[in-house]
């Protein structure tokens, strides 16, 4: 069996891919039996190739499913499933969104700092609010 070409797999339907996957798994089972019973060396080296082919078929199937889901959820952007959302990093995902970020420079607009503090308090993430409640700023008095 020659190596599978992924671009050829992408042109196949889901039913064809599933049938090919079933055939590959059956072939892998036969090769494993041959390995245990002491089969020919060429069959033993074929195991790696079949496992690679199975992985390629499974990858193409999952990619096709994901692309179909992306098209389905194109209109409903607010309730996008987690696996379809951009991965990024944990810190970036928890960062404040644009509509929640308060004024960064209070002096520029001559805004009363009490108002800025109030707006910032309501514009923080839940985690930040909890952190402030449980770990407030410590107040120190200097002894003279």
Domain coordinates of the chain in residue numbers?
6-72, 88-132
Look at residue 56 in the predicted model and tell me its pLDDT. Answer: 97
Token output for 123: 């514009």
Q: What is the mean pLDDT of each run of 10 residues along the chain (144 residues)?
A: 87 96 96 89 90 97 94 83 88 72 49 48 76 90 86
Look at residue 78 in the predicted model and tell me its pLDDT. Answer: 78
Look at residue 102 in the predicted model and tell me its pLDDT. Answer: 56
CATH topology of domain 6-72: Helix Hairpins (1.10.287)
Look at residue 12 in the predicted model and tell me its pLDDT. Answer: 95
Contacts 24+ apart (CB under 8 A), 55-63: 56/4, 56/6, 56/9, 57/4, 57/9, 57/17, 57/20, 57/21, 57/24, 58/21, 59/6, 60/6, 60/9, 60/10, 60/17, 61/14, 61/17, 61/18, 61/21
Token output for 51: 């496992």
pTM confidence score: 0.63
């Amino acid at each position: 069996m020659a190596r599978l070409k992924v671009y050829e797999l992408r042109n196949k339907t889901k039913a064809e891919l599933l049938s090919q996957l079933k055939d590959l798994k059956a072939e892998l089972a036969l090769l494993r039996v041959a390995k245990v019973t002491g089969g020919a060396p060429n069959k033993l080296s074929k195991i790696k190739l079949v496992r690679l082919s199975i992985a390629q078929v499974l990858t193409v199937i999952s990619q096709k499913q994901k692309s179909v889901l992306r098209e389905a959820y194109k209109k409903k952007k607010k309730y996008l499933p987690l696996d379809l959302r951009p991965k990024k990093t944990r810190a970036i995902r928890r960062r404040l969104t644009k509509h929640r970020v308060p004024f960064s420079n209070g002096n520029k607009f001559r805004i009363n700092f009490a108002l800025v503090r109030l707006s910032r308090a309501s514009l923080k993430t839940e985690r930040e609010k909890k952190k402030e409640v449980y770990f407030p700023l410590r107040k120190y008095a200097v002894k003279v």
